[in-house]
Structure 1
Amino acid sequence: MTTRSDERLADTPLREVGCGSCGARVEVRKSSWEQTSIQWTGSAWASCLERQAACPGAFFAGCGALRQAITDAVLCGELPVHDPSAAPGGPH
């Protein structure tokens, strides 16, 4: 079986973003303001303070501190949004 490559990554590759709280570093791609793809590494998953504080076995909806770091990276221009017309609060 052949693995198909993700062609979207050619337009907007994953970029590394670090959490301001625990320092975990993940790979991120923003397709639009509303859509974010995050690739966690084992070490990032292990060092995430919010994940560690979550109830064992419970669904982990994500890290608020990392979400803020991603937003900050977008606003500072460090993390591009593939569809720049999808600005925060703009038309959907």
Structure 2
Amino acid sequence: MWLGNRPASRLAHRPDHRLTDGAPMRPLACERCAAEVLVRKSSWQQTSVQWNARATAACAERDPAGGAFEGCRSLRDTIREAALRGTIEVVDGGEQPTAVADRIP
């Protein structure tokens, strides 16, 4: 089988570097509870977070019973501040978001 001008089997074994190009994931500890996760900011709108068992147990906003988890507001704030300070690289930096208070006349 061919895809375009290449055999499909050749494409199937080609590594996909889209997620590893640019900045690697970096450790970052939440300013509230010190849960340490791995973080990568692809843009101001997109953030990848990798949790491990220790971070999951330490998170102050996670339900210890394992209920639904929509995300940690404290960690989200920590990541945003780290990106603004330059501690965490924003791969596709673009224009930094402005705070709501900065936009109010």
TM-score, reference length from structure 1: 0.80
Match of 1:24 in 2: 35
TM-score by length of 2: 0.71
Q: Residues 30 and 78 of structure 2 are in contact (CA less than 8 Å); yes or no, is this contact kept in structure 1?
A: yes
SS in 2 for 1:79: coil
Which is higher, the Rg of structure 1 or of structure 2? 2
Identify which range, 78-87 or 12-21, moves more after superposition.
78-87
Once residues 86 and 58 of structure 1 are traced to their aligned partners in structure 2, the CA distance between those partners, rounded to angstroms, is 36
Instruction: Note if contact 1:32-1:86 (Cα within 8 Å) is conserved in structure 2.
Output: no
Q: Percent identity?
A: 41
Distance 1:21 1:77 in 2: 19
Q: What is aligned with 1:67?
A: 76
5+ long unaligned stretches in structure 1:
none
Residue of structure 2 in register with 1:37 after alignment = 48
Mean Cα displacement is larger for which, 30-39 or 80-89? 80-89
**Larger RCO, structure (CA 8 Å, separation 6 or more):** 1
Aligned mates of 1:21, 1:5 — CA distance in 2: 36
Following TM superposition, by how much is the alpha carbon of 1:9 offset from its aligned partner in structure 2, in angstroms?
2.2
Superposition CA RMSD, Å: 2.3
Q: Deviations over 1:64-83 (max 9, x none)?
A: 11111101100110001110
Q: Which runs of 4+ in 1 moved over 4 A?
A: 4-7
Structure 1 counterpart of 2:83, one-letter code = V
